[in-house]
Amino acid sequence: MAKDKGKSGEKSSPIDTLYNQMEKARPYLDISDDHFLKLKKPKRSLIVSVPVRMDDGRIRIFDGYRVQFNMARGPTKGGVRYHPDVNLSEITALAGWMTWKTALMNLPYGGAKGGVSVDPEALSPGELERLTRRYITEIAPIIGPERDIPAPDVGTNEQVMAWAMDTYSILAGYSIPGVVTGKPILVGGSHGRLEATGRGVAFAISLAAQKMGLDLQETTVALQGFGNVGAVASMILHLEEGCKIVGVTDRHGGIYNDKGLDVCKMNAFVKDGGYVHEFGEGDALTNEELFSLPVDVLVPAALEGVIDEGNVDNIDCKILAEGANGPASLAAESYLQDKGVFVLPDIFCNAGGVIVSYFEWVQGIQMYFWSKQEIREKARQIMASTFKEILAKSKELGLDNDLRTAAMVISMERVYQVHKLRGLYP
Ligand code: GLU
């Protein structure tokens, strides 16, 4: 395929991918240059330094960020990422995707993202707690249940959210559970939030399979990433849909087994501190090899930018389900769509997490909690009706097999209409 590189010869970055996706959707919107620029510009970006006393007594300073990309439709919403590669540009792109994701799902939110440039695996539990408490203190002036509501993302979890809620509450002098979602149930979390993103990915795949006439009992699946998204999605696909999971990798590599992997056993092994490649019931598989496996469904469920001009030619799947945010460059995605691959775009495919975050926030405000069954059913309804809406929009616009652009048109149109109605202050 044509080289997916910018003028500098660099690979496309997350922010390039986000803006390329927006530019592709633009001709389908009746929008002026000025208004389009308003959609592209992040509303508020905060950079903080996060000093942490390490266990050896020394102080290390980490860089932290919170970007509120667009707040026209409501309080901003989006996760907090702990990863060594976190930087302002990446967080801005992720905040942009949250904006389009919440708008697509018609949740009453804008989009945000935060993060700290740190390897959480290299910290002790005490260091991780102190880092979290100081980061939340630094971003406290711009977050809150009515302003901006963080949640887990790569490298953060329920425990981190409990510390975040506690820190914000201590600063205020009373308990404010609604400041974050993805909390443990005991501190105001919701049933079904932990599994929500993975369950949503599995459901999105079942919707796509139905549309394509694929029998999931006969399909093979490979996943990159075996964290909260990949592991849950693989177990649901295996146990509830009857798929055969043939390949799984994490950042250290992985394994392949054409007879199918016991992903539940693998999940228990990983929860006990093991790595996927050490699981043993298959052949060694590198991340690069994973993207060349002939499978029905390929699920990138780790980080952005893993599919580009360098490896897209090798991809051999029928459905690409974007569990991660921004896993494919626009050029790579277009190439796959032209080849007939059904791409489930991230802002739809992984939206199960933020949908149930919304439920958690609503339950917290009402102090009235719902059952797991109710939550699963309500989340499915939102995903199923949004899928229909995206398909109808792609048909209406003649965007055959390009669900991403159809979804972006729906989202951008929603935010643009709100910009117009609210007008420009002053
Ligand atoms: N980090 C997740 C995402 O990328 C969830 C965000 C949320 O629940 O607010 O969608």
**Residue 323 CB–ligand 1 contact under 6 Å:** no
Distance between CA atoms of residues 13 and 22, nearest Å: 14
Most informative mutation of 354, 360, 361, 382 for ligand 1 (most atoms within 8 A of CB): 354
Distance between CA atoms of residues 297 and 62, nearest Å: 38
What is the reported pLDDT for 77? 98
What is the reported pLDDT for 12? 80
Residue with tokens 């893993």: 306
Q: CA-CA-CA-CA torsion for 191, 159, 105, 92, nearest 10 degrees?
A: 180
8 A C-beta contact, residue 270 and residue 264: no
Rounded distance from Cα 124 to ligand 1 centre (Å): 25
pLDDT tens figures, 285-305? 999 999 999 999 999 999 999
- Pinpoint the residues of the chain covered by CATH 3.40.50.720: 196-344
What are the counts of helices (DSSP H) followed by strands (DSSP E) for the chain? 14, 12
**Residue 99 CB–ligand 1 contact under 6 Å:** no
What is the reported pLDDT for 1? 60
Asked whether the whole model's pTM tops 0.95, one would answer yes
CATH number of 14-179: 3.40.50.10860
- Pinpoint the residues of the chain covered by CATH 3.40.50.10860: 14-179
Distance between CA atoms of residues 196 and 33, nearest Å: 37
Please choose, from the candidates 77, 52, 72, the residue with its C-alpha nearest in 3D space to the C-alpha of residue 62. 52
**Residue 102 CB–ligand 1 contact under 6 Å:** no
pLDDT tens figures, 142-178? 999 999 999 999 999 999 999 999 999 999 999 999 9
**Residue 181 CB–ligand 1 contact under 6 Å:** yes
196-344: which CATH architecture?
Answer: 3-Layer(aba) Sandwich (3.40)
- Arithmetic mean of pLDDT, 397-412: 97
**Residue 354 CB–ligand 1 contact under 6 Å:** yes
Among the atoms of ligand 1, which is closest to the Cα of residue 354? 8
Rounded distance from Cα 27 to ligand 1 centre (Å): 28
Rounded distance from Cα 112 to ligand 1 centre (Å): 9
The catalytic site residues sit at: 113
What secondary structure letter does DSSP report for 283? E
Give yes or no for a cis peptide into 426 (omega within 30° of 0).
yes
> In this structure, which amino acid lies at residue 396?
E
